[in-house]
């Protein structure tokens, strides 16, 4: 067996048209004086042809003297006819297919199993290559290869891997990556058809043996000889306590897909596993006393434990000895940790760990909403699988055509942007997959394109730093530092406002004469400041602060127009443009508050934010500071709308869905600003009403349409009660499944506990499921007022990064994400908050 392939079963034969002529003796063509790599193919081909030989062949092709390098021979030129293939049972002489090649038409194919991987492993793509050779054993002409139809037949659960296209010939080689989640032997068969109607078909068939992957799951099962019940967490014994109740702990190791896998053989250096606990001998005894587990050949081991008194004990497996990294060892512990509660059956029943958790972390209604949180998790899994199957490594999946697109230079932004969601949802397997991509495949040198500095910061840096903050894994910080360093020169402008786009692979950006977008330069600071704090490299903070100071240097505290002068222009000035809280401005305002939460000693951020809040009323209808008489007659909170004001002061009655982050921001301020700040001018009451009223309108943006999805923006009637127009604007009736309303529902629920926000969230989620779900993920929609919806072939990375994350958090207990500890960047990635800014 070689490379996971049983070579003795490999056969190669032409199935030629009946009665086809015997191939003639081969002879080099005019001007060709080359040696074939391998001329004969009457036997099964040799596996693993040396790459060097292929390169030599390619060079020889290029050096051909008679100019037929990539020229086609004339249509009627005689093709070399020399190959004799065998069919099982009888020999048959067959004419090679009438194709042309660099050095000859493809007449001979080798299917080889080339890869760094030493064997086919369940869960990893196994690389194979199909090589097209001409009659002399040299590389054939790629253009002609393109005309070939290649089919791969696979048995078992094997499939062609996500990134594989059976048409994408490169230098006469086609990569066919095969993957399988099961450890099994599969039959794989390649068929090749030429476009020639008298097509010859080459069949090659082989067996591939997928071995189990490395141990990933560590299963501990209690085998109780005295009928103790194991409910998953809690174990009760029989008879009065203290009773030494010996329990056999059965330990199994499995790969990611649940295939049983012996632990010992998978790790180098002969490491072993030991059972550990947080209890001393007065609480728990083990046999053997050191907890070391001896595994049998099936990968099963045992330790006996005895609880010595009632109460919880944490158990986990620890890797001992061997060469595994600290990270791998930590993973073993993390994956295996389990709490067991030893109970005294004669005493009143003790709460299980789950119910303890429920009590400490779940509100009264959390249990009820858990099923909906699980549904959101399922939706993320669906989206992830779509992306993984059709666009892995690319920026975004195109869920209709089931392909991918690179809208951010091909850095795999969906993977980076999804990390924190996967972590929070406990989708460990998918998180590990994403983490592996970051550590093994993510290469910013390949992102040779002009990419938005803002998007790379909030999605790329934010995603990596959030993953680092949650998981503590250094690889995320290292990659963030790499990305941050590549972005630094974009800030090197005369104004200190960064260029809008930068090529992180080559290190240049087109000097932009376009006005600077406020939100793009005003929401980079959380990420760069956190990066500086974690790496100790002050330059990251410096560039972000200088950009922020450049905005301030325009001399307009409070509301700012959406455009500033271009980055190369100094001094910075505001450009006459509209004032808005939606597109082009949004996250600048959000980051004023959040920078203060990140660094509470820098009160000028808070002061600036309060100033904005003081002016925000100008962009709200009805005005949010009604007279006391108004409140005297109405306790009802108006459905506030955010409108825009042009440079000349005209009101534009239009509300962007993007502006729906505002209620979230306002309640976050209400929960964190010092009480003294909120007591001034009735801010507390006004802002609460504003947040609640705006949330109602944002929800209405969704529920008012036929599909239940929100349009990109809507016009607002210019008179009381300032309702939305029922007719949607022709250029605003699409939906990208944006997250802002879900974001606000999450914050409003978190800070008020009012269950209506969860109900609203469920309505949003149902509309997304019903009208956007397709096989490849969740598609954007062309017109939210038409059902069935016409879908757009795109799924933005923020759908997983934010929309589903906020819905999941909305339906989950508060402990899922502690907002006292974390502040979410504008893409929904949690970054640590400094302590100190909270009025709770």
| Residues in touch with ligand DMJ (CB under 6 A) | 586-587, 658, 738-739, 798, 802, 826-827
Nearest alpha-carbon partner for 533 in 291, 738, 832: 832
Please give the biggest Cα pair distance in the chain: 104
Smallest separation (angstroms) from ligand DMJ to the CB of 662: 12
- Side-chain half-sphere CA neighbours of 320 within 13 A: 12
Q: Least Å distance between CB 743 and ligand DMJ?
A: 8
Is 455 considered catalytic here? yes
CA–CA separation, 499 and 489 (whole Å): 9
Q: Is the Cβ of residue 4 or residue 462 nearer to ligand DMJ in the bound state? A: 462
Q: Between residues 36 and 739, which has the closer beta carbon with respect to ligand DMJ?
A: 739
- Residue 95: both structure tokens together: 């004419």
Is residue 254 within 8 Å of 215, Cβ to Cβ? yes
Catalytic residue among 366, 740, 743, 802: 740
Which own/partner pairs from 501-504 qualify as long-range (CB within 8 Å, at least 24 positions apart)? Answer: 501/450, 501/451, 501/452, 501/453, 502/450, 502/451, 502/453, 502/456, 503/409, 503/447, 503/448, 503/449, 503/450, 503/451, 504/409, 504/444, 504/447, 504/451, 504/456
Q: What is the DSSP letter of 440?
A: I
Question: Is there a contact between 686 and 670 (Cβ–Cβ < 8 Å)?
Answer: no
What's the closest the beta carbon of residue 458 comes to ligand DMJ, in angstroms?
6
Q: Is residue 712 flagged as an active site residue?
A: yes
Q: Taking a C-beta distance cutoff of 8 angstroms, is the pair 780, 791 a contact? A: yes
Minimal distance in Å, beta carbon 641 to ligand DMJ? 19
Q: What is the dihedral of CA 392, 397, 401, 402, to 10 degrees?
A: 40
425/658 with CB nearer ligand DMJ: 658
**CB-based contacts of 191, cutoff 8 Å, min separation 6:** 150, 151, 152, 153, 201, 202, 203
In the bound state with ligand DMJ, the residue whose beta carbon lies nearer, of 94 and 526, is: 526
Query: Are 83 and 96 within 8 A, CB to CB?
Result: yes
CA angle 577, 549, 584 (to 5 degrees): 30
> Token pair of 771, please?
């009208």
* Catalytic pick among 455, 677, 743, 827: 455
Instruction: Please say which residue, 295 or 563, places its beta carbon nearer to ligand DMJ.
Output: 563
Angle subtended by helix axes 462-471 and 525-535, to nearest 10 = 50
Reduced 3-state DSSP string for 775-820: CCEECEECCCCCCCCCEECCCCHHHHHHHHHHHHHHHCCHHHCCCC
**375 given a catalytic annotation:** no
Nearer to ligand DMJ, 687 or 736 (CB): 736
Q: Give the residue with the Cβ less far from ligand DMJ, 362 or 795.
A: 795
Which H or E run contains 330?
helix 326-336
Catalytic annotation, pick one of 255, 520, 712, 794: 712
- 490 vs 824, which CB is nearer to ligand DMJ? 824
Min CB(766)–ligand DMJ separation in Å: 20
- Shortest CB 827 distance to ligand DMJ, Å: 5
Kindly state the smallest distance separating residue 583's Cβ from ligand DMJ, in Å. Answer: 8
Distance separating alpha carbons of residues 829 and 447, to the nearest angstrom: 23
CB of 831 to ligand DMJ, least distance (A): 14
754 is annotated as an active-site residue = no
Q: Which residues are catalytic?
A: 455, 586, 712, 740
């Amino acid at each position: 067996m070689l490379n996971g392939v049983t070579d003795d079963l490999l056969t190669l034969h032409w199935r030629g048209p009946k009665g086809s002529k015997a191939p003639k003796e081969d002879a080099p063509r005019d001007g060709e004086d080359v040696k074939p790599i391998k001329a004969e193919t009457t036997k099964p081909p040799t596996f693993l042809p040396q790459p060097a030989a292929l390169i030599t062949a390619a060079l020889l092709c290029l050096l051909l003297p008679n100019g037929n390098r990539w020229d086609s021979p004339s249509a009627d030129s005689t093709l070399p006819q020399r190959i004799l293939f065998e069919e099982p049972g009888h020999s048959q002489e067959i004419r090679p297919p009438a194709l042309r090649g660099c050095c000859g038409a493809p007449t001979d194919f080798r299917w080889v199993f080339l890869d760094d991987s030493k064997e086919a492993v369940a869960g990893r793509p196994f690389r194979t290559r199909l090589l097209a050779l001409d009659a002399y054993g040299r590389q054939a002409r790629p253009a002609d290869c393109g005309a070939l139809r290649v089919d791969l037949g696979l048995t078992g659960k094997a499939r062609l891997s996500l990134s594989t296209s059976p048409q994408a010939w490169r230098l006469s080689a086609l990569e066919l990556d095969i993957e399988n989640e099961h450890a099994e032997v599969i039959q794989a068969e390649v068929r090749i058809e030429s476009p020639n109607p008298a097509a010859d078909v080459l069949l090659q068939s082989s067996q591939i043996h997928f071995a189990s992957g490395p141990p990933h799951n560590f299963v501990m099962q209690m085998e109780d000889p005295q009928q103790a019940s194991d409910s998953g967490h809690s174990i009760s014994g029989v008879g009065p306590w203290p009773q030494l109740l010996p329990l056999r702990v059965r330990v199994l190791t499995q790969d990611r897909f649940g295939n049983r896998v012996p632990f010992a053989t998978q790790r180098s250096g002969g490491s072993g596993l030991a059972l550990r606990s947080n209890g001393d001998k007065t609480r728990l005894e083990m046999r053997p006393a050191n907890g070391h587990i001896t595994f049998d050949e099936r990968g099963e081991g045992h330790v006996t434990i005895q609880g010595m008194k009632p109460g919880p004990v944490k158990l986990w497996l620890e890797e001992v000895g061997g060469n595994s990294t600290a990270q791998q060892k930590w993973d073993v512990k993390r994956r295996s940790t389990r709490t067991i509660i030893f109970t005294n059956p004669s005493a009143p029943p003790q709460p299980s760990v789950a119910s303890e958790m429920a009590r400490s972390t779940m509100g009264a209604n959390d249990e009820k909403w858990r099923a909906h949180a699980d549904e959101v998790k399922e939706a993320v899994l669906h989206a992830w699988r779509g992306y993984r199957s059709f666009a892995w490594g690319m920026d975004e999946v195109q869920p209709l055509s089931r392909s991918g697109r690179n809208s951010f230079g091909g850095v795999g932004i969906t993977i980076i942007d999804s990390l924190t969601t996967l972590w929070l949802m406990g989708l460990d397997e998918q998180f590990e997959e994403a983490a592996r991509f970051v550590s093994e495949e993510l290469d910013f040198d390949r992102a040779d394109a002009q990419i938005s500095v803002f998007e790379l910061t909030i999605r790329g840096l934010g995603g990596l730093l959030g993953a680092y903050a949650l998981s503590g894994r250094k690889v995320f910080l290292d990659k963030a530092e790499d990305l941050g360093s590549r972005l630094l020169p974009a800030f090197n402008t005369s104004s200190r406002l960064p260029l809008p786009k930068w090529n992180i692979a080559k290190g240049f950006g087109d000097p932009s004469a376009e006005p600077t977008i406020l939100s793009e330069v005003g929401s980079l600071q959380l990420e760069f400041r956190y990066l500086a704090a974690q790496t100790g490299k002050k330059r990251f903070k410096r560039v972000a602060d200088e950009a922020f100071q450049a905005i301030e240097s325009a001399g307009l505290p409070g509301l700012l127009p959406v455009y500033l002068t271009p980055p190369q222009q100094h001094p910075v000035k505001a450009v006459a443009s509209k004032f808005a809280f939606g597109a082009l401005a949004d996250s600048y305002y959000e980051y004023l508050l959040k920078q203060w939460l990140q660094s509470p000693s820098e009160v000028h951020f808070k002061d600036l934010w309060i100033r904005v809040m003081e002016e925000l009323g100008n962009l709200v209808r009805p005005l949010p500071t009604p007279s006391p008489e108004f409140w005297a007659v109405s306790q009802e909170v108006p459905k506030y709308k955010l409108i825009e004001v042009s440079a000349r002061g005209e009101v534009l009655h239009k509300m962007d869905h993007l502006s729906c982050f505002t209620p979230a921001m306002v309640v976050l301020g209400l929960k964190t600003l010092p009480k003294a700040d909120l007591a001034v001018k009735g801010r507390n009451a006004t802002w609460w009403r504003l947040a609640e009223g705006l949330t109602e309108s944002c929800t209405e943006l969704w529920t008012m349409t036929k599909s239940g999805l929100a349009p990109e923006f809507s016009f607002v009637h210019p008179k009381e009660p300032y309702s939305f127009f029922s007719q949607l604007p022709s250029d605003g009736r699409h939906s990208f499944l944006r997250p802002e309303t879900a974001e606000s529902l999450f914050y409003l629920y978190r800070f008020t506990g009012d269950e209506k926000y969860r109900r609203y969230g469920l309505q949003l989620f149902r509309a997304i499921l019903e009208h956007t779900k397709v096989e490849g993920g969740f598609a954007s929609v062309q017109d939210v007022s038409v059902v069935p919806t016409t879908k757009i072939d795109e799924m933005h990375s923020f759908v997983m990064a934010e929309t589903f994350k906020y819905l999941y958090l909305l339906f989950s207990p508060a402990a899922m994400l502690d907002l006292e500890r974390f502040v979410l960047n504008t893409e929904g990635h949690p970054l640590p908050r400094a302590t100190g800014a909270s009025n709770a």
